[in-house]
Structure 1
């Protein structure tokens, strides 16, 4: 029985050593990208994309990646700083936005920060309709899909939303 326990201990030690080595190599590979870009809601798309001079938008980051893609060896890592990135139109990706060879293009949150990419439009001009309801107009040519109040999904009044086919002008009550 002692022999089986010693053999099992040797196998477990070897597995632990291999696991630690694999974990170290993965961390080392992730820690040394071929290029690293930074994006911040306070940045500017004319910036270089460094941590001190970040880009501002997802589209700006995509365009910066396109300029260097294929000319650097290793992964291109795009780090989004915390904050909200407002999108007024879709950002389109295609084959130009894929990594070349064994290199990857990685879009990620920077460290423990929380970036939010949002196409939401703030609704202003709320007026009290009665004791329980408020009213605001939405002049949009897009379909109203979700409704959030203070970052929490909310339900609209079931009898006060009028829209022809879901597009156009809305009266939210």
Structure 2
């Protein structure tokens, strides 16, 4: 191979390497996130001219209020129970702690102007009593029934799948999920126990 051929090959490989680098760079650029915005995009919501009845709701709304005005909003549960196809439910900003909502598919739910309503299917327990030794207890009346699946038998399955694993209740402390315990004596800082006979957590 003469010097000229060697130079041509070197130039070819250099060009190929640069091309591969550019292609890789473009692929990397395309794989990058778009730069946002992420999460809910703030926008100004308006009510359609063809809307039926308008019902205003708020996290601290009155369940007995008709929700006809911003100053006397209803609860979201009340609004959904009264709304019919074509109605619009306007949600004021804030956190709605609710669940088991049965929605009519013809109902429109939208924020009030640019406010940000948030629906959460959890409730906050605030009446805790200190039992000492780091244990706290509260009365709770919204517990799921603790019932095992039909295949479960205490003698055969109780050790590997204890009965308390069938409860669907969840407890979070400052956003941290706690595991369920089989009885009070197992409770530590990472677990909880529910006495379904008394409704105590």
Q: What TM-score do the two structures reach when normalised by structure 2?
A: 0.45
1:51 — aligned with what?
70
Contact preservation (8 Å) 1:48, 1:54? yes
* Secondary structure class of the residue paired with 1:50: coil
Q: Quote the Cα distance in structure 2 between the aligned partners of 1:28 and 1:127.
A: 46
2:89 matches 1:78: yes
Aligned to 1:142: 143
Residue among 163, 170, 178 paired with 1:155: 178
For the 8 Å contact 2:67–2:79, the answer to whether it is kept is no
Q: Please tell me whether Structure 1 or Structure 2 has the larger radius of gyration of its CA atoms.
A: 2
Give me the whole-angstrom Cα distance separating, in 2, the residues matched to 1:153 and 1:78: 33
Unmatched 5+ stretches in structure 2:
1-43, 145-167
Aligned Cα root-mean-square deviation (Å): 3.6
Deviation at 1:62, TM superposition (A): 1.4
Matched, 1:34 2:51: yes
Give 1:136 deviation, angstroms. Answer: 0.8
Whole-Å separation in 2 of the counterparts to 1:113 and 1:78: 14
Counterpart position of 2:102? 92
Length-normalised TM-score, structure 1: 0.51
On the 8 A contact 1:84/1:118 being kept in 2, the answer is no
Distance in structure 2 (CA, Å) of the matches to 1:64 and 1:137: 34
Residue by residue over 1:89-120, the C-alpha shift from the partner in whole angstroms, topping out at 9 and shown as x without a partner, is 73434xxx232xxxxx2223332323334442
Q: Report 1 or 2 for greater relative contact order, CA contacts < 8 Å, sequence distance ≥ 6.
A: 1
SS in 1 for 2:123: coil
Shift of 1:39: 0.3
2:83 is paired with a residue of what secondary structure? helix
Contact 1:78/1:107, CA 8 A, preserved across alignment: yes
- Asked whether the 8 Å contact 1:33–1:76 carries over to 2, the reply is no
Separation in 2 of the partners of 1:171 and 1:43? Answer: 28
Is the Cα contact below 8 Å between 1:137 and 1:169 reproduced in 2? no
